[in-house]
Amino acid sequence: MQAEAIAQLKLLDVETQTQLGGLEKLWSGLDAVVHDHPEAFQESLQWLLPDLSDRSEIEVDLLSKLVLACGDVSLVPFVHVGKGAIAASRAALKAGCHVVTDVPLIHAALDHTRLAHLGCATEILMDDRHITSVAEAEQAFWQDSAWKAQLHHLPKNCIVVVGYAPSALLAVCDAIAQHHLHPALVIGMPIGFSHAPAAKRQLMQSDVPFITLDGTIGGGLLAAVALNAIVASTIEKPNCHCYLSKA
């Protein structure tokens, strides 16, 4: 039933351009059976995801979890996984690296149980519980220079996760360029309409492993999900080397 429904949903544009009656009939049929069984997310992904045969198993798992976190399959082309990013992050996690997030909300969304299992300590760059929005994070970072200076003292081979303040990612890129920061991985997914795209472009032009999203899209949840996906696969498939044989 689900496979048939997904196949019909691919005709959504055609239905809306021709007649709304057919579309309403389709929705009525789908709505009638939603109480009969739980939604099969993995089956849906198999039908809806684009061809990822050129990606490694670990990367496909990462992309799938990002799609499930936002409910939008069109996210896939916007995800950029830098060369060697998966290998570097897995090695760092296995060595019990330091994990740093830009704000408390992202820190709260991390998989602390699995990180503790790997021996990874966590830290919040802007440890202010009053920061609850992207705008607040951006302003807070600009108003307190101590947080920017803190980047210079992070341990080597740490993992930096930025999902709120675009200026925080710009500062991370500057610290890397000035050789004050030597991370094993930077997950850069801040939201913003001018600074965020610029910060992400700088990150992709740096010489450090990265995971980021094109343009203005992003967010703390996606940034945390990206790290959690790598942490989980590192524990569940510690001996997998599929990512080394894929482009």
Local confidence band at 14 (pLDDT 50, 70, 90 cut-offs): low
123: region left, alpha or beta (phi > 0 left; psi from -120 to 50 alpha): beta
Q: What is the pLDDT of residue 234?
A: 97
Contact between residue 73 and residue 99 where contact means Cβ atoms under 8 Å apart: no
CB 172 within 8 A of CB 160: yes
What's the token pair of residue 97?
Answer: 């690296």
Q: Look up tokens 């920017």; give the residue.
A: 148
If you average pLDDT over residues 89-103, what whole number do you get? 97
pLDDT digit string (tens) for 15-34? 555 555 666 777 777 787 78
Print burial letters for 211-221: b (CB count within 10 Å at least 16), e (below 16): bbbeeebbbbb
| Mean pLDDT estimate for the chain | 90
Query: What does pTM read for this prediction?
Result: 0.86
> Which tens digit of pLDDT belongs to each residue from 185-242?
999 999 999 999 999 999 999 999 999 999 999 999 999 999 999 999 999 999 988 8
According to CATH, the topology of domain 57-244 is Rossmann fold (3.40.50)
Specify the pLDDT at position 125: 95
- Look at residue 246 in the predicted model and tell me its pLDDT: 59
Q: For residue 240, what pLDDT is reported?
A: 87
Domain boundaries, the chain: 2-48, 57-244
